[in-house]
Amino acid sequence: MPPDAVVYRSAPVKPASRIRRKNQQIILKAAEDEFARHGYKGTSMNAIAQRAGLPKANLHYYFSNKQSLYIALLGSIIDQWEDAFSQLQVDDDPASALAAYIRTKMAFSRSHPQASRIFAMEIISGGEYMSQHFNQDYRQWFQGRKAVFQAWVDAGKIDPIDPAHLIFMLWSSTQHYADFASHICQLTGRSQLSRQDMELAGDNLVSIILKGCGLRPPGL
């Protein structure tokens, strides 16, 4: 570390803040289970409270109503996806960066399949509750992500492709294994997709998508 570097240390988290975060996470997880099972219209705050093991009044303390809780849940899902995607930079090696991103998204689909399905159901139904999120700032963020891929194309690092369609393919292919897991299981004769199944699927997506961009998958 340079001698003149300044080290910033966050202040200790207050017990009340820790309790608040813990309760919010419990509520969001319970909401995820209920919304994934029953959809937005079929889910009640009472059912979420029962699944969370908290008094209904606690839910209303953190989230004023079902709509605000649902929007918060959708926002947390997108934030996790965007965090991984925002890490792609112009100076990255495209093969390594894309392979890492695909595997990260596949890991999320394995560990949070219900979250992916809730988002898919919301978008398929018209995205009414995501209208505030998909605003001008979000579109600018998307343009910034496209610019990374375009810079790779311009530098000759990947074959000429339309960045938007590549992004859509990355998103859809990795989420398919969560959103349509039951269909995949029926076709493959499995009761559920295991970690090995998801890792094998990820390996194949890495190979197919990277080769489609004119890249050699890492390790091959």
Q: Tell me: the pLDDT tens digits for 15-53?
A: 558 888 888 999 999 999 999 999 999 999 999 999 999
Residue 36 token pair: 């994934």
The domain of 39 spans 14-64
84 and 47 both lie in a single domain: no
Tell me if 149 is assigned to some domain: yes
Q: For the stretch 71-92, what's the b/e string if a residue is b when 16 or more beta carbons lie within 10 angstroms of its beta carbon? A: bbbbeebbeebeebbeebeeeb
Longest dimension (CA), the chain: 61
Check which CATH number belongs to the domain holding 26 and give it.
1.10.10.60
Identify the residue whose tokens are 């311009």: 154
Q: pTM score, two decimals?
A: 0.83
CA distance 139 to 136: 5
Q: Which residues contact 23 (CB under 8 A, 6 or more apart)?
A: 54, 58, 62
**Per-residue pLDDT tens digits for 82-106:** 888 999 999 999 999 999 999 999 9
The answer on 184 and 98 residing in a single domain is yes
Q: What pLDDT is stored for residue 8 in this prediction?
A: 29
Number of domains comprising the chain: 2
> 31 and 52: one domain?
yes
